[in-house]
Amino acid sequence: MPATAPPPADPDLVTEAVALTRMAGEATLRWFRDASLTVDSKGDGTPVTQADREAERLIRRELEARHPDDGVLGEEEPETPGTSGRRWILDPIDGTKAFTHGVPLYSNLLAVEDAHGIAVGVINIPALGETVWAGRGRGCWCNDEPARVSEGSDLATAYVSTSGLGPWSDEAILAVQGSGASIRTWGDGYGYVLVATGRVDAMVDPRAELYDLAPMPVVLAEAGGRFSSLDGDEGDPGAGSGLASNGHLHDALLSTLGGAARAARA
């Protein structure tokens, strides 16, 4: 017997998630390119600002009022366990380094997870006025227009985005460049927006947390693409790495990156 497909996402929940993410985006814009913004360092050395904290607190307050039984996992505050079987996963500013340098490619991320996996995903780019969202079985959208991945199938002509080359091994960089693909650092959540809307062919995150990647499985699936970890685990945003693609060159890119990793271990 074939497996039963999970149910489509509640359209009202999709609409609510989009509205909450855009609300957080508006809050961050008040601090964007503000000379009074203070940048602190967390224990892991990554930056955090008042804008990150205020945006997460805003979404948490709204969820506490609207869905008090749901769990919430965010980057800046301890996880709130729930009893409903549903969890909201949020990153108030993905790309805080871009944000603190006045670069408009940072994003606000929100996902809804249920018993079947990620049901709703939202990537909001407030400084550019772009929002990409998807609900399971409801399609992928960019500012109310259908979003679709590219059709390119040749890695030699592909554009591959990433958040930065620091986490890449030298072998991986050389392997991708050797394939003919062009690497661009249009990264963080914006890189996934570019894949979902067909403007680049793939996005690679060698290291990432669950809240960095939670929206991506449903966004890419509904846009006609694929999402996996760099180990090939399909649809798992908590595996510690991410590869989003148009689907056509996913296996070729996985093989290229995997071959580089094997060569580095040899």
The two structure tokens encoding residue 258: 């995997």
Is residue 40 annotated as involved in ligand binding? Answer: no
What sign does the dihedral 215-221-223-225 (CA atoms) show?
Answer: positive
CA 114 – CA 78 distance, rounded (Å)? 20
Is residue 91 annotated as involved in ligand binding? Answer: yes
CA 220 – CA 228 distance, rounded (Å)? 10
Q: How many CA atoms lie within 13 A of 51 on its CB side?
A: 30
Model confidence at 235, pLDDT cuts 50, 70, 90, reads confident
Is residue 75 annotated as involved in ligand binding? Answer: yes
Tell me the β-bridge partners of 140: 134
Tell me the β-bridge partners of 244: 203, 227
Is residue 125 annotated as involved in ligand binding? Answer: no
| pLDDT at 266 exceeding the cut of 50 | no
Residues 45-66 have pLDDT tens digits of 889 999 999 999 999 999 999 9
Give 191's contacts (C-beta < 8 A, 6+ positions apart): 161, 162, 163, 200, 203, 205, 244
Distances (CA, A) of 18 to 180, 181, 264: 37, 33, 42
Q: How many CA atoms lie within 13 A of 200 on its CB side?
A: 22
Residues 75-88 have pLDDT tens digits of 999 999 999 999 99
pLDDT of 199 reads 98
Name the residue type at position 253: L
Residues 123-152 have pLDDT tens digits of 999 999 999 999 999 999 999 999 999 999
Mean pLDDT of the chain: 95
CA 253 – CA 248 distance, rounded (Å)? 10
CA 149 – CA 105 distance, rounded (Å)? 19
Please, are residues 37 and 50 in contact by the beta-carbon 8 Å criterion? yes
Model confidence at 43, pLDDT cuts 50, 70, 90, reads confident
Residues 150-192 have pLDDT tens digits of 999 999 999 999 999 999 999 999 999 999 999 999 999 999 9
The two structure tokens encoding residue 198: 């067909």
Is residue 93 annotated as involved in ligand binding? Answer: yes
Average pLDDT over residues 94-116: 97
Name the residue type at position 73: L
pLDDT of 20 reads 98
